[in-house]
Structure 1
């Protein structure tokens, strides 16, 4: 694993946007430019899993032109969850106040990032960009995609007794304190279940959560990374955690509110 060099500047009040990538060469440059324009106190970490389409080369080119961008190259496709864990560890090591999760395919609008950061800076340890609330929206999703997403979110909320309206959202800001509370070494989800696991853990730990309405836009380039195996991981993990929550089994990795 190639470790990017740390930034030289003082970053104690800054945010690090973590962008996992795999075959996102068509959208990466546009997203990075949008993020850097969104606020002056944001840096970007691109984590590329050896994309065969050359995304890693584009990431290196962006970093060579912009000191606010660094790149972490990984040996292969290791999963979304492990990418974010690597990004969170680097955010902690570099002294960032906030870590940001964001898709690199254009689904999350960079211009909405200041609203999420504002909620985090106002005291939310976790600010979630929420689609399923007043002011939230989804653009260019067919009806069946909406039903699957709403159904999955509803199942997770019911199984985990969560009050969060968009447990599966991948657009969020975490404060340094709440990242430290997560105990990253015990997170088990590698795919999109990572979003559910981390939000639920923080909710049960008493981390202040704010839900901020966002507009989610279906990608216009590249291909979705969703697969049956990723969906199965999310379903089986949520089911196991829910059973453990009710019957006292299988909850070791999902700590209770103290």
Structure 2
């Protein structure tokens, strides 16, 4: 039986994920209730399939957005409704089957023990993971280390995380950024700046081949330019906050499990 909660929910943003999304959602429902899926303007027929799936699962809610606006925008749509319904925390995971649904209870338990913390997954790559992905994310992690004045965020791009809803909603509502592929790293850095404790937990990640149903919407030029602009913006934001962050005890604690 899945663990039911009135405070913590699983939130899955989804855009043209292909049939793999049904397996992902079913796996999440095995371990937790409720599970919410925000369909970000999908055109591959999965919106209709997920709505039908929800008719047979009382613990599944599907929110269908009419246009594709990006991962961060989909997360914000989910957070807005979750906040209105009294939820305090959201575990975000991708819809493509890369993230380990079996670890949902452990991450939620860690969040329950530290409700003011963000619980960040740190990917443990299999031997067959694409080298370009493994090494390419190290550059983003290097910038994140600079932006947090130390190795506080285990991985800046891994989207398997539990967020406290109130501070994340406040941060996202105050700016137009964090709506697309820039969501994961910017959310972690800005929450850190706001004094949110960081707890890093190892989690295995799967990179699925096309023959296994794997689909990637990463656009090499567009999204790398987006990330570059984001890090430039965060570096300037760090300079503004540097005097405060350098005060003794000003930076939040971080831990690694």
**Residue 157 in 1 paired to residue 145 in 2?**
yes
Aligned pairs for 1:40-189 within 5 A:
42-124=33-115, 125-131=117-123, 136-138=124-126, 140-162=128-150, 163-179=152-168, 181-182=170-171, 184-186=173-175, 188-189=177-178
Supply the distance in 2 between the matched residues of 1:205 and 1:234 (Cα, whole angstroms).
21
How many pairs were matched up? Answer: 236
8 Å CA contact retained: 1:48, 1:72? yes
CA distance change for structure 1 residues 215 and 17 in 2, over 3 Å: closer, same or farther? same
Supply the distance in 1 between the matched residues of 2:128 and 2:49 (Cα, whole angstroms).
27
Structure 2 residues without counterparts, runs of 5 or longer: 243-249, 253-257
Using structure 1 for the length normalisation, give the TM-score: 0.83
Report the RMSD for the aligned CA atoms in angstroms.
Answer: 2.4
DSSP-derived class of the 2:188 partner: helix
Q: Deviations over 1:45-65 (max 9, x none)?
A: 111123221010111111111
8 Å CA contact retained: 1:160, 1:241? no
DSSP-derived class of the 2:157 partner: coil
**Residue 34 in 1 paired to residue 30 in 2?**
no
**Residue 230 in 1 paired to residue 218 in 2?**
no
Q: CA deviation at 1:25?
A: 3.1
8 Å CA contact retained: 1:14, 1:43? no
Q: Deviations over 1:17-43 (max 9, x none)?
A: 11111112311111111111113xx21
CA distance change for structure 1 residues 238 and 195 in 2, over 3 Å: closer, same or farther? same
CA distance change for structure 1 residues 244 and 204 in 2, over 3 Å: closer, same or farther? closer
Structure 1 residues without counterparts, runs of 5 or longer: 1-10, 250-255
Aligned partner of 1:199 in structure 2 is 188
Q: CA deviation at 1:222?
A: 4.0
Supply the distance in 1 between the matched residues of 2:197 and 2:229 (Cα, whole angstroms).
27
**Residue 242 in 1 paired to residue 235 in 2?**
yes
Aligned partner of 2:255 in structure 1 is none
